[in-house]
A and B are shown apart, each in its own frame.
Chain A
């Protein structure tokens, strides 16, 4: 059991696809049929869906919409502007996940600033940033904390380690966010009509199936699905069964990686280091209690406190449809800029930049 190839079998995919058609299409001789609109809220699900051509395995009346589950895409412009200001400070090293490098700020990107000579380094883990801080005691090292519930506990651990080691030169600039409030904001948006959610795999590993109890009041089903193609297809089967039988429950397809109560150690670590705050989600606006700020006890590691950063709303390219795309209201192809002036070499908005951005994924896997 290697946990990857077995979950990509084409033969099994075709069988599950036939089951989806059987569930979704009206009975033979029957009339009218209905549309089923499901939303996945994780960039990795969007990636799997397009990479493996899963839309070809769905009947025409079942639609999978990509939601705001790309933490890079929902980072507002002013965060990049502030990161660039920090990069320009004396004796300061910026450390970041790779997909933040090309996200446009109001006039530049971290990638361009690095080309100009700023010390900006890509890291795979917050622990790598911590090591850079230990190896460079005369410099300030700022780690750009981007990511949802999957990533935030790992950054919390780095902050806890920094405190244990009494570091005075390691800081986290947090723009961490949590998914449930964004899902609520989408459900309250009248333009969006959903029949169910495909819930993220690894956010769920952390928060558990119990983390989605808030969906009950909306009477909408949700199925946690793994990231392999067969997982997503089976997730859609489970959603169709729920909708057809009038159920609105939280079910788990990804039982091998998600427990009902999630990862308790990670949840404790999250609460220990972070407190919820409002956050600005690009394209959606301000959502209360959807962001994670560093607690007072760890203020010494909070870049916003240490450097006196103030957040402000920044102007956005008026043709960029990123906001509508991440809510699932428009498709990348609806955007005037898509694949013309906006492309991976020259992105106008974060949705084209990130490897998990809907526009970037549509561009990469589109038929030529």
Chain B
């Protein structure tokens, strides 16, 4: 139920946006977020974007994973 999928914003008009997820496009609401731009990745849950994915933080997290050596 918490399932939220990262999707990329490809167009936006007011509170609605079209997102792309692996080739599939759908319309969602961005009414729960401010300052969303085309090209942003958002977490989509039940037809709404609930948070923007922060690319810098994602890279930092991946760097942490890569730094863990046995």
Q: Tell me whether A150 and B45 are in contact (CB under 8 A).
A: yes
Chain A hits for B48, CB < 8 A: 125, 127, 153-154, 157
Q: Tell me whether A43 and B2 are in contact (CB under 8 A).
A: yes
How does the 8 Å CB contact mask read for A294-324 relative to B, with 1 for contact and 0 for none? 0000000000000000000000000000000
Closest beta carbon of chain A to B1's beta carbon, Å: 5
Query: Which chain B residue lies CB-closest to A356?
Result: B1
Size of interface on B: residues with Cβ below 8 Å to A: 33
Chain A hits for B41, CB < 8 A: 1, 3
Residues of B10-68 whose CB lies within 8 A of A = 29, 31-34, 41, 43, 45-48, 50-51, 53-55, 57-62, 64-66, 68
Q: Tell me whether B45 and A151 are in contact (CB under 8 A).
A: yes
* A277 in contact (CB, < 8 A): no
- Indicate which residue in A9, A18, A70 contacts B1 across the interface (CB closer than 8 Å): A70
* A230 in contact (CB, < 8 A): yes
Query: Which chain B residue lies CB-closest to A203?
Result: B2
- Indicate which residue in B4, B32, B54 contacts A256 across the interface (CB closer than 8 Å): B54
Chain A hits for B3, CB < 8 A: 44, 202, 227, 356
Query: Which chain B residue lies CB-closest to A201?
Result: B2
Closest beta carbon of chain A to B6's beta carbon, Å: 4
For this complex, into which size category does the number of interface residues on chain A fall? 35 or more
- Indicate which residue in B33, B53, B68 contacts A237 across the interface (CB closer than 8 Å): B68
Provided the pairs A2-B6, A4-B6 are in contact, do residues A205 and B51 lie with their beta carbons within 8 angstroms?
yes
Closest beta carbon of chain A to B33's beta carbon, Å: 7
Chain B hits for A269, CB < 8 A: 32
What is the CA–CA distance of A52 and B50 in the complex, to the nearest angstrom? 25
Residues of A190-243 whose CB lies within 8 A of B = 200-203, 205-206, 226-227, 230-231, 234, 237
How does the 8 Å CB contact mask read for A238-257 relative to B, with 1 for contact and 0 for none? 00000000000000011111
* A36 in contact (CB, < 8 A): no
What is the CA–CA distance of A12 and B65 in the complex, to the nearest angstrom? 7
Instruction: Pick 18 A–B contacts, CB within 8 A, sort by A.
Output: A1-B58, A15-B68, A16-B68, A43-B1, A44-B3, A147-B1, A148-B2, A154-B45, A157-B48, A205-B43, A227-B4, A253-B61, A256-B55, A256-B57, A257-B53, A259-B51, A263-B50, A269-B32
Binding site for A on B (CB under 8 A): 1-4, 6, 29, 31-34, 41, 43, 45-48, 50-51, 53-55, 57-62, 64-66, 68-70
